[in-house]
Structure 1
Amino acid sequence: MRFRVAYLDLPMNEAFLTSAAAFPNLEICHITTDQPERDVIAALAGCQGYYVRAARHELPDRLHVTSALLAELPGLLMVASYGAGYDTIDVEACSEAGVLAVNQAGGNAEGVAEHALGMILLLLKRVPEAWAAMREGRVGARHAFLGRELLGRTVGLVGLGHVGTRMAELLAVFGCRVLAADPAIDAAGCAARGAQKVKLPELLAASDVVSLHCPLTSETRGLIDAGALRAMRPGAVLVSTARGGIVDEAALLAALEDGHLAGAGLDVWNEEPPPASHPLLAHPAVLGSPHTAGVTAESRARVASMAAEAFAAAVAGLPPRLLNPEAVPRFTERRQAILGKGAERPAG
């Protein structure tokens, strides 16, 4: 039996289809959403894999991987997100159903890290403010836009995974002192990645720039709230290329308007894309982008190939980047029952 993998409307990148074609055990199923929802779900029910969009606003809630959807897909064995994020996947529900959940962590690290670094440089040099003044014809003395250099500054990274690690490498070129708050990595691990491990309060108080690189979880939702923003160094800059929902946007606006923070760069938003009327978009010290940090030709081709390879690995083994290793025993039993001969238990 072939392992059938469904995607909706468009794959992340054509590299997904190209890479999948190299694995004879994979059958890729294209499902369009311009049909009744019940027909979409019926088509998904005939597949063992679901290649699901990672950004929650790009997918109807009904097609997010929730316990309700999983109940209608008894033959599903694995879900893989389009990218490193997995906002559309309820990992706990997958574990309860014996379904493996996988993301493509690391595939877009270069694109996201470069984007975050670019935002930091532009904000320190006050380019958004100068550009707004030029557009409005109110440029006076150039010293009104006195900027700062990144060289030798302290940068705090909230999250030191793939993107955070690449950020630490890039910041080393500028001789920055890099602090990292990441509960999953010990002091030695942080040091090996070019950062000093600290707790979040210390990071906020000591950093000239705070850059967010953590996933959106129950622990990080609302992490950068009014209290955290007030704990930041006066005149500091905040950049988030992580996930919307981590930063309290109303509190951030207040911290900018009262002058406590000098600027903010946001690639991710509570609502994506944010409405044109969003007050942060009108603030001259804000640099915004519509969740495009990882949208590069290289990153998209890389993560698409990674997803195809992960589905192929699940046919008779285990895929990499498992979000729920606790689901492996039940997944293995279900795979044997659903795929039958050829779905051997993985070694170890």
Structure 2
Amino acid sequence: MGGLAQPRFPISLTVEAITMAKPIAAVTISTGVARRVMSPAAWDLLSRLAEVRVNPHDRSLTEDELAGLLSDADVCLSGWGGGRLTAAVLDRAPKLRMVGYAAGSVKPVVTDAMWERGIRITSAAPAIALDVAETTLALIIASVKRIWQCNQITHHGGWTAQTPMGPSREMNGSTIGIVGAGHVGRRVMELLNMFSAKVLLFDPYFTDAQAAQYQATKVELPELMSQSDVVSLHAPITDETHHMINASMLRLMKDGATLINTARGWLVDEAALAAEVQTGRIFACIDVTDPEPPAPDSPLRKLDNVVLTPHIAGCVTNCTRLGELAVEEIRRFLSGEPLLFEVTREMLSICA
């Protein structure tokens, strides 16, 4: 795509001889999740690194079962449904020192007890970000070109690029607003560099100079909402981001603008969004809701100017990059090498 390099993580999937006694690695994810995230190469490397013990069930483990599986583990490969590392669990896992998390946000797993024991954890969020960013780019382009509106017009006998939301446009000259410069937001900005679009960024933890590295202009949220043709949300779940996109922010959007949410439903006041969308003034592409799934009678399910998808922006069937990255992190930990994507206690307040 225009010469843009696909990010590659330095995953060797090889292992040098380990001189110490073979450590024990516990895989706490269910058999179903393991099929999604673990490639044969990942299993092979993990089995050469350590004696592997797995969750034998196609379900999450109970707290007692999780503690039993981790009782003599040195490292753990966790992920979706892998179980929370509570004090009760960790009291029975005295050897555990590191968790390779084969999913995005580690918040469902970590506890104060984990940090207090000095247990380290890594995240595969950078791998998930690649899929989410590609999906987001597709939604941005489709929104600018008015793909869904033109489809409705042609299905009803029409043939025009002029839609009730405005004419079909080009990426060249469009203004795209990015809310949040985490792994996904940064990757989306990299992808947008292929186009002659103006990119605005709101992220209180990013500097002007950092934004400029992504050919973006850092602005405050109200300016971004009022100036963007497409607003794409990539902020994490924190106290500060809850319903950050509220009625007043939605009212700032241009007529015919599109709101895209491939991050978390937490960010958006959905009642306010439904009310604003029902005016016919803006369009929305919503991949995440709060709660998930939305209620059967949610207005978002019924409105023609809402594209609603069931949380598919990230990987759905081929998620093996996640397991491979988690196993690579385990290899690095056992070999005494720097971890690639460690999450620290201090990072939790600002990361997804």
Q: After TM superposition, is the score higher than 0.5? A: yes
1:243 maps to what in 2? 264
Residues 81-160 of structure 1: pairs in structure 2 closer than 5 A = 81-90=101-110, 92-129=112-149, 131=151, 142=160, 143-145=162-164, 146-149=166-169, 150-160=171-181
Deviation, structure 1 residue 273: 3.7
Deviation, structure 1 residue 176: 0.8
Residues 187-336 of structure 1: pairs in structure 2 closer than 5 A = 187-260=208-281, 262-295=282-315, 300-317=319-336, 318-324=338-344
Q: More deviation in 108-117 or 40-49?
A: 40-49
How far apart in 1 are the matches of 2:91 and 2:241? 28
3-state secondary structure, aligned to 1:21: helix
3-state secondary structure, aligned to 1:314: helix
Structure 1's 315 and 34: CA in aligned 2 closer, same or farther, altered over 3 A?
A: same
Residues 4 and 28 in structure 1, CA contact (< 8 A), matched pair in contact too: yes
Query: Which whole-Å deviations, capped at 9, do the CAs of 1:11-30 have from their partners, x for residues lacking one?
Result: 26464552242253323322
1:49 aligns with 2:75: yes
Query: Which whole-Å deviations, capped at 9, do the CAs of 1:49-86 have from their partners, x for residues lacking one?
Result: 343334xxxx39xx334556545544432333323333
1:176 aligns with 2:200: no
Structure 1's 263 and 52: CA in aligned 2 closer, same or farther, altered over 3 A?
A: farther
Paired residues, number:
317
2:53 maps to what in 1? 29
Structure 1's 140 and 231: CA in aligned 2 closer, same or farther, altered over 3 A?
A: same
Residues 204 and 232 in structure 1, CA contact (< 8 A), matched pair in contact too: yes
Query: Which whole-Å deviations, capped at 9, do the CAs of 1:127-148 have from their partners, x for residues lacking one?
Result: 44455677xx755574445533
Q: TM-score, normalised by structure 2?
A: 0.77
How far apart in 1 are the matches of 2:239 and 2:167? 37
Given candidates 10, 15, 18, the residue that maps to 2:41 is 18
3-state secondary structure, aligned to 2:274: helix
User: What is the letter of the counterpart of residue 291 of structure 1?
Assistant: H
Deviation, structure 1 residue 316: 4.6
Task: Give the unaligned 5+ runs of structure 1.
Answer: 328-348
3-state secondary structure, aligned to 1:4: strand
Query: Which whole-Å deviations, capped at 9, do the CAs of 1:117-173 have from their partners, x for residues lacking one?
Result: 211222334444455677xx7555744455331321111111223322232233233
Deviation, structure 1 residue 268: 1.8
User: What is the letter of the counterpart of residue 314 of structure 1?
Assistant: F
Structure 1's 225 and 49: CA in aligned 2 closer, same or farther, altered over 3 A?
A: farther
How far apart in 1 are the matches of 2:99 and 2:84? 11
User: What is the letter of the counterpart of residue 306 of structure 1?
Assistant: L
Structure 1's 144 and 168: CA in aligned 2 closer, same or farther, altered over 3 A?
A: closer
Structure 1's 217 and 326: CA in aligned 2 closer, same or farther, altered over 3 A?
A: closer
User: What is the letter of the counterpart of residue 49 of structure 1?
Assistant: V
User: What do you get for the CA RMSD once the two structures are aligned?
Assistant: 3.1
User: What is the letter of the counterpart of residue 313 of structure 1?
Assistant: R
Q: TM-score, normalised by structure 1?
A: 0.78
Residues 48 and 77 in structure 1, CA contact (< 8 A), matched pair in contact too: yes
How far apart in 2 are the matches of 1:254 and 1:316? 55
How far apart in 2 are the matches of 1:307 and 1:88? 16
Query: Which whole-Å deviations, capped at 9, do the CAs of 1:266-288 have from their partners, x for residues lacking one?
Result: 22222334454432122111112
Runs of 4+ in structure 1 deviating by more than 6 angstroms, as ranges, are none
Structure 1's 157 and 69: CA in aligned 2 closer, same or farther, altered over 3 A?
A: farther
